[in-house]
Amino acid sequence: MPSPPVPALRRATPAASSFVACLAAALACLLASAPAKADTLIARVDIEPGALTVAAGSASIDPVDQQRLLLPLEVIDARGNGAGWSVFLSARPATGPAVGIASLLTPFVSCASDSTCTTSVSTIAYPLSVPLTGVAVKVLNAAPGTGMGAEMTTLALDGGVSAGQTVNTTVTIASSP
């Protein structure tokens, strides 16, 4: 007597596969939400502090005021200690005599995109005179408890710069207000 025919194997349909996946996920959730028998659960997480950095974008002449130099900055304080910081700027004409003084207007500070921050509260009085001699001047600072996270600002130097003139700028940061 011949054996009965063996039925052909069929692949599961996408709907059946989805149903099985959902069923497995639901079962996993039920098992995970079962009451635990432990009295205390201790989880330990070590958070490593980050760095304190400043980055300057490309300086440009303000299209509205040709005597104003705009310098965008990003300050990131990922140290997690709230100790504060200071930004220093030195500016000097690329050619010609290193003379003149520019006036730094009050910078507007905001959190960088996709960042949560505590914006800096500066103790510097603006407008601030900045000599165009290459000497570093403290232009922005964060009092303790402020300036944490990533923030953006644009420094606006008024006067002392002529349209078409190149000005070399250097920006540095120190880890104290």
Q: Residue 43 falls within a domain, yes or no?
A: no
Q: How many domains is the chain built from? A: 1
Which tokens go with 137?
A: 């001047």
Task: Indicate which CATH number applies to the domain containing 165.
Answer: 2.60.120
Q: Residue 147 falls within a domain, yes or no?
A: yes
94: domain range? 52-174
Cis preceding linkage at 35, omega within 30:
no
Q: Residue 30 falls within a domain, yes or no?
A: no
Q: What is the pLDDT of residues 26-49, one digit of tens each?
A: 545 555 555 555 567 777 777 777
Q: Residue 5 falls within a domain, yes or no?
A: no
Contacts of 99 (CB under 8 A, 6+ apart): 132, 133
CB-based contact 54:87 (threshold 8 Å): yes
Q: What is the pLDDT of residues 66-123, one digit of tens each?
A: 888 889 999 999 998 999 999 998 888 777 766 688 899 999 899 999 888 999 999 9
Q: Residue 69 falls within a domain, yes or no?
A: yes
CB-based contact 144:120 (threshold 8 Å): no
Cα-based distances in Å from 41 to 23, 35, 38, 127: 29, 13, 7, 55
